[in-house]
């Protein structure tokens, strides 16, 4: 159903441990340069940005990902979501794996039905 992998910038278990997600793969990028380069590649249907990146770094990665046509899910650890204009969805890092999987599935479903 979904042909492109997901670029994950969060340290989490693969989605397949929580559900049978119709995603061909999850790629993990560590560091801003690697993340921006990967996001610009256009090879991803979705990019998940981990909570440990600064707001400026999240903006760089999200902008690159959206420019390449990817959906962007941004995680955060502050009390309010960061100002990341290119992000389509936000989740708190303490929301748990079920919320993360739900948010990913929701964004991918929106993409499939659009």
Q: Give residue-wise pLDDT tens across range 80-104.
A: 999 999 999 999 999 988 999 899 8
Q: Which pLDDT belongs to residue 38?
A: 86
When pLDDT is cut at 50, 70 and 90, the band that residue 111 belongs to is low
Q: Give residue-wise pLDDT tens across range 44-59.
A: 888 999 888 999 999 9
Angle at 30 between CA 53 and CA 43, to 5 degrees: 100
Which strands sit side by side in the sheet containing 89-92, from one edge to the other?
Answer: 26-28, 6-9, 46-49, 71-76, 89-92
pTM over 0.85: no
Residue 13 has pLDDT above 50, yes or no: no
């Amino acid at each position: 159903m979904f042909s492109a992998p997901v670029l994950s910038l969060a340290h989490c278990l693969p989605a397949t441990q929580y559900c049978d997600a119709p995603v061909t793969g999850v790629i993990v990028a560590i560091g801003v340069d690697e993340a921006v380069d990967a996001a610009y590649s256009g090879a991803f249907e979705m990019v998940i940005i981990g909570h440990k990146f600064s707001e400026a770094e999240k903006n760089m990665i999200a902008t690159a990902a959206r420019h390449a046509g990817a959906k962007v899910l941004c995680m955060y650890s502050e009390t309010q979501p960061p100002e990341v204009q290119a992000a389509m969805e936000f989740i708190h890092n303490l929301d748990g794996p079920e919320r993360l999987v739900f948010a990913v599935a929701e964004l991918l479903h929106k993409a499939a039905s659009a």
